Amino acid sequence: MKMKTVKALVLSGYGINCEEETAAAWKLAGAEPEIVHVNSLLAGHTSLHNFDVLTFPGGFSFGDDLGSGKVLAHLFKHRKTVQGTTLLAETETFLKNKKLVIGICNGFQVLMQTGLLPGTKRGTLTFNQSGKFEDRWVRLTVSETSKTPFLAGIRTLDLPVRHGEGRIVLEDTNHWNQVLENGQAALFYSDAQKTPTTTYPENPNGSPFGCAALASECGHIFGLMPHPEAALTLWNHPEWSTKMRTNSNTPHHGDGLKIFQNAVEYIQANKEPQK
């Protein structure tokens, strides 16, 4: 049986700089990626609705001059397309068709600033408690209550972080409790014992509860600060040679690839046949 084609839109433009790696991740996962400039969507040259998954890649959209993700989010909320709608409205329609959205690092910040992540409209991503840009690998564990298909079957991950504004802030304790109870806090920075932690340096930004990612209640929207597209092969990992010497049967794929493969498998299983 022929597998259904999965089409992944990867945004580019205005300082986004991880689009090539992210497109490579989708391709390795079995999807057909297309890198699309934001202006192409605004001008109507490309339709979001021709795709199955929308990707907000990492980078420094608009130089992060007014705060990470804020300007691109403003463009999505207020700039009109040639059809007279906003890109935010188009994305909301896209989601109503049970499609997927992922935001990585700066892309996660855009999801927060637009309010696309339901239940987090009273939240933001702000400066790391360390007061500096963090560029290194971290250990992560997946929440046992996570509902997002992006993390299906994954328990732990090693991924790199590259951010200066990655600390998740929500309005109050009640809001955090709601997010935790709903399984929206999907991924946690963890220590060597695979326990979520708020302690630096294991937690690079000071996010409460060690939270590294948030998802919508149904799981179709997924935002994370670490970069899975930078961990596609074993050789991306800083300890790859030690892993190989310790176990010659160590898989050659990186931990990040599974996130993209999960999305492709989910879409293939749930995609409506074309008429």
The pLDDT of residue 122 is 75
What average pLDDT score do residues 124-147 get? Answer: 96
Write down the number of H helices and E strands in the chain: 8, 11
| Residue numbers annotated as active site | 105, 227, 229
Asked if the model's pLDDT at residue 3 lies above 80, the reply is no
Q: How confident is the model at residue 9 (pLDDT cuts 50, 70, 90)?
A: very high
Asked if the model's pLDDT at residue 140 lies above 70, the reply is yes
Tell me: the pLDDT tens digits for 201-245? 999 999 999 999 999 999 999 999 999 999 999 999 999 999 999
Both tokens of 102, joined, read: 């992922």
The pLDDT of residue 273 is 65
The pLDDT of residue 63 is 87
The pLDDT of residue 121 is 61
Region of poorest pLDDT, from 115-119, 144-148, 255-259: 115-119
Q: How confident is the model at residue 1 (pLDDT cuts 50, 70, 90)?
A: low
Tell me: the pLDDT tens digits for 103-120? 999 999 999 999 998 665
User: Could you tell me the CA-to-CA distances from 69 to 6, 107, 168, 180, 242 in Å, in that order?
Assistant: 27, 7, 13, 24, 37
Angle (CA) 260-134-33 rounded to 5° is 25
What average pLDDT score do residues 34-59 get? Answer: 97
User: Could you tell me the CA-to-CA distances from 190 to 10, 150, 203 in Å, in that order?
Assistant: 29, 19, 7
For residue 144, what are the contacts with CB-CB under 8 A and spacing of at least 6?
A: none
The pLDDT of residue 197 is 98
| In contact, 155 and 143? CB cutoff 8 Å | no
What average pLDDT score do residues 72-76 get? Answer: 95
33 φ, ψ (degrees, to nearest 5): -85, 150
Q: Domain 7-270 in CATH: superfamily?
A: Class I glutamine amidotransferase (GATase) domain (3.40.50.880)
Query: Distance between CA 187 and CA 196 in Å, rounded?
Result: 9
What average pLDDT score do residues 254-270 get? Answer: 97
How many CB atoms neighbour CB 97 within 10 A? 9
Asked if the model's pLDDT at residue 143 lies above 60, the reply is yes
Query: Distance between CA 34 and CA 43 in Å, rounded?
Result: 17
Q: How confident is the model at residue 271 (pLDDT cuts 50, 70, 90)?
A: confident
pTM for this entry: 0.95
Taking all residues of the chain, what is their mean pLDDT, rounded to a whole number? Answer: 94
Domain boundaries, the chain: 7-270
| Residues 61, 100, 127, 86, CA torsion sign | positive
